[in-house]
Structure 1
Amino acid sequence: MSLSRGRHRAREIALQLLYSLDLRPDQKVEEALELFPFEEGEEGNIVQYASSLVRGVWAVRAEIDNEIRRHVVGWRPERMVAVDLAAVRLALYEGVIARLVPLPVAISEAVDLAKKYGTEHSGRFVNGVLGRIVRALELEESVGAGEGQDPRRG
């Protein structure tokens, strides 16, 4: 299996696991990973990447959810469809926080997963939420980069 197809499969697994963890807050990440019905013969690198995504997202989900609250008016994470929230968290972790892949790849993958597993509106919704957050973060970064510079220097 190619690297991109393998990573796509790993993201699918991660989305499903994140979804299940959201629905069962009493379940631990390691328990969810242990109980997940991986396909027989699933390649080790796919399972490994999916597991690292789930652990990473789950460890920083409060930080991700705070970014959603800060930048997306009217959509608290608690009100989002669980699949959409999992896709947004996954993209922000993989593309912004851990920088495992280029941001456009993370967003495209999240939109594809939301379309496949969410509602008929999930793809557009996830794209809109991620677009708003990413634009806000880029603006904050560019403003922050300008601070401390000598205004006399061009």
Structure 2
Amino acid sequence: MSRSFLPQKRRRAREIALQILYSLDVREGLEPDEAISLFPFKDEEPSVTSYAIKLIKGTWANKENIDMLIRTYITGWRPERMVVVDLVAIRLALYEGWIEKSVPMAVAISEAVELAKHFGTEDSGRFVNGVLGRIVRSLQEESSGDNDSEG
């Protein structure tokens, strides 16, 4: 029975992670541990809190690498020019699905699109989906190209 609640708990953890990562992005000098300590976790289940913290710390630690992926595969959209909510949703999906591989990439993209629709602009869902789709296709093409040359 608890298994059926897992997607909802993970979604809640992603919502929290998005909010805290957003604050880290817009408040210069704010560190992850400080931002986490400011969030009112008292009403959250421990599994939600721990997954949110894992996402926050992992995404933030890999921020430069993720932004480099965005710069490499998306022409005309530098990370610093993106709507912050969209950028954070993209970073979160790339961390969770591509770097950490804690969920399938399709799930990470779907969740990022939902977060962007909920917290972003009218166009955020489509934008996030398009950016992630292009990056993932490019990464998969490179990976399969690497495998072809090894044979």
State TM-score, norm by structure 2: 0.96
Query: What's the counterpart of residue 70 of structure 1?
Result: 72
Distance in 2 (alpha carbons) for counterparts of 1:89 and 1:19: 11
Q: Which has the higher helix share?
A: 2
The offset of 1:99, in angstroms, is: 0.1
The offset of 1:148, in angstroms, is: 2.5
Give yes or no for the alignment of 1:16 onto 2:22: no
Q: Residues 1-154 of structure 1 correspond to what in structure 2 (within 5 A)? A: 2-38=5-41, 40-149=42-151
SS in 2 for 1:46: helix
Spell out structure 1 runs of 4+ moving beyond 2 A.
none
Distance in 1 (alpha carbons) for counterparts of 2:64 and 2:110: 23
The offset of 1:37, in angstroms, is: 2.2
The offset of 1:135, in angstroms, is: 0.4
State TM-score, norm by structure 1: 0.94
Q: How many residues align?
A: 148
Query: What's the counterpart of residue 152 of structure 1?
Result: none
- Let me know the Cα RMSD of the aligned residues: 0.9
Higher radius of gyration, 1 or 2: 1
Distance in 2 (alpha carbons) for counterparts of 1:24 and 1:41: 25
Unaligned runs of 5+ in 2: none
SS in 2 for 1:147: helix
Identity, % of aligned positions: 58
